[in-house]
Amino acid sequence: MCNKKYWIKFKLPWQCNGFSRLALALFLSLLLHFFLIERFSFNLPEFNDKNDLIEIRLVPTVAKINSNRGMHSVVINSVKRNAVKPMPTSKLDLTPTEKFSLTELPSLPTVSLPSTIEAVEPDPVIINSSQESQIENSDLIVNRNPYQYIETNFDVYTDKQPTLNSSVAGIAKITYQAMPKIERYQIKSIIQAKGLAALFVPDLLQTSDGYVTENGLQPMHYLYQFGNKKDKTFSADLEWESRKLTLHSENGDQQLDFEEGTQDLLSFMYQFMFVPPLQIMRLSITNGKKLGIYEYSFEGEEVISTKMGDLKTLHLLRMALEGEKKTELWLSLDYQYVPVKIRETDKEGKVYEMLVNEIKTE
């Protein structure tokens, strides 16, 4: 307030002493701060990284850059501290709905492949048995050096389940001989009873002879003779140029056509030296009385016990039709598929088995 002596006179505000001057100073300061605050500009960036620091400094504004009393604006910079650079990502041109996080991609399964793959093409084999997997390709190798001479001795059994301790009912001997100079072969088989049975049971003789060709044995003449009985003597002649088979018996002759590869009851067992078993399981065979198709099945690999020791064999079976014999063969893997066990079962179930006890080869 002004002094009473000046109350009646009009005085300007700065003419007041003390309190009036203080009020004037506050008014001017308020005007100054209002003006300065209006000229400041704040530019704050967005921060998402916890490692960011903020640096704030005052720089002159462009409008007042040449003025000593120019105003200043606040400039804020982001400074990284120990920041980790993000991994580069592939540029994917995706629509907004197709965008995804790379960390959400599922991992692909790992596939292990063998270092080498070998393709093996086995020799063609015709096998009518579920046990074909037991045969290895090495068992089907064609023999390039067949024996020139084979002499096989057998014990003959008549038990249904014979063993080495079973009583021997007879003996048998099969001899195979090749004559390379004239490309011919001869096979002779003889079965004889032993003991008292020899007085009543005659010998059974079989012979086969023919040519040795690049395809194996080619029989020309076969004989089946049971003692001196004419009604049990049969023979067959094969003419290969005309493919005519002539059967001879007590009842007369009969002529038939035959196919390539036809064998007789002896030659077919030694044909396996030239054509590996299981390669051809369907054979045309004559027994002197008739010509028939014999189909064999593979029964598996077996180790049989003999007086020579254990022998590894291939077991073949010919299933008999009604009224015919069932024939089984065991071919030795160590002796070029030579038969080492032969079993025949007639329609009445009677068994005749020949089991090797000795082999001589050249």
Label each residue of the chain as H, E or C.
CCCHHHCCCCCCHHHCCCHHHHHHHHHHHHHHHHHHHHHCCCCCCCCCCCCEEEEEEEEECHHHCCCCCCCEEEEEEEEECCCCCCCCCCCCCCCHHHCCCHHHCCCCCCCCCCCCCCCCCCCCCCCCCCCHHHCCHHHHCCCCCCCCEEEEEEEEECCCCCCCCCCCCEEEEEEEEEECCCCEEEEEEEEEECHHHHHCCCCEEEEEEEEEECCEEEEEEEEEEECCCHHHEEEEEEECCCCEEEEEECCEEEEEECCCCCEECCHHHHHHHCCCCCCCCEEEEECCCCEEEEEEEEEEEEEEEECCEEEEEEEEEECCCCCCCEEEEEEECCCCCCEEEEEEECCCCCEEEEEEEEEEEC
Q: What is the predicted pLDDT for the residue at 112? A: 39
Q: Are residues 136 and 246 in the same domain?
A: yes
285-312 pLDDT per residue, tens: 999 999 999 999 999 999 999 999 999 9
Q: Are residues 175 and 317 in the same domain?
A: yes
Total number of domains in the chain: 2
Q: What is the mean pLDDT of residues 190-215?
A: 94
Q: What pTM value is reported for the model?
A: 0.62
Q: Does the structure show a pLDDT above 70 at 257?
A: yes
Average pLDDT in the chain: 75
Q: What is the mean pLDDT of residues 257-277?
A: 95
Q: What is the predicted pLDDT for the residue at 199? A: 87
Q: Are residues 164 and 28 in the same domain?
A: no
CA distance from start to end of the chain: 154
Residue 18 lies in a domain: yes
* Domain range enclosing 11: 4-80
Residue 136 sits in a domain whose CATH number is 2.50.20
Q: Are residues 53 and 173 in the same domain?
A: no
Beta strands 72-80 and 351-361: pairing type?
unpaired
Domain end, chosen from 51, 80, 109, is at 80
Residue 92 lies in a domain: no
Q: What is the mean pLDDT of residues 9-16?
A: 49
Domain end, chosen from 80, 115, 144, is at 80
